[in-house]
Chain A
Amino acid sequence: GQNIDQPTEMTATEGAIVQINCTYQTSGFNGLFWYQQHAGEAPTFLSYNVLDGLEEKGRFSSFLSRSKGYSYLLLKELQMKDSASYLCAVRPDNTDKLIFGTGTRLQVFP
């Protein structure tokens, strides 16, 4: 079966660093994706990892360990506008479909 786990909710303080974890068990692996979704809006694509290691893109970084079935999204210098849900998605075996986790709702406080 396909399973993707993320914490349901997290809180953090403006200016801090937060790490959102994602673990997956899927039939094969061909890439992991992170999305941001503000309340009432569509998900927007943040990052893509297919090889082990860290991908940095401004204040956001994403890490992947394929052997552990594990990824995290690291958000630095948190801003109020980072309050949103963060969705982890995996592309399983050679397929053009993505499997999404249920998302982590992040609240940033002043």
Chain B
Amino acid sequence: DAGITQSPRHKVTETGTPVTLRCHQTENHRYMYWYRQDPGHGLRLIHYSYGVKDTDKGEVSDGYSVSRSKTEDFLLTLESATSSQTSVYFCAIKGHTYEQYFGPGTRLTVT
């Protein structure tokens, strides 16, 4: 258990509304990641952070923004949700040998 929680765990929202997902960790890890997982695509990196206020884009960052104002929290925001953003979202932290440990996930449905 890497002490990672995600909230909310489930969310249904309408197209065009803003949505923010939260990842919280308790072990002072420097690196945090946001992925989405879809059938046939596997886990794809959206954004990641290498420290407070230090973030970078992943391979599927369009339509998403992130913020990290303190070490323990990494927020993922969908400014205007679309149906193509219906997915399961996982947060992760980096371990000592570059392995990653994942949070429990958030299932987001955009109607």
A97 and B45 form a contact (CB under 8 A): yes
Residue numbers of B with Cβ under 8 A of A are 31, 33, 40-45, 48, 50, 58, 90, 94-95, 97-105
What is the CA–CA distance of A48 and B102 in the complex, to the nearest angstrom? Answer: 16
Is B50 a contact partner of A96 (Cβ separation < 8 A)? yes
Interface flag for A87 (CB, 8 Å): yes
Flag if A102 contacts B31 (CB, 8 Å): no
10 smallest A-B Cβ distances: which pairs? A102-B42, A42-B102, A100-B43, A100-B42, A45-B99, A43-B102, A91-B98, A42-B105, A42-B104, A96-B31
Residues of the B chain whose Cβ atoms lie less than 8 Å from the Cβ of A103: 42
Residue of A nearest to B103 (CB): A42
Main secondary structure of the interface of A (DSSP, over half): loop
Q: Which residues does chain B contribute within 8 Å of A89, judged by CB atoms?
A: 43
How extensive is the interface on chain A, given as a class? Answer: 20 to 34
A33 CB–B CB distance under 8 Å: yes
Is A44 at the interface (CB under 8 A from chain B)? yes
Q: Is the CB of B99 within 8 A of A43?
A: no
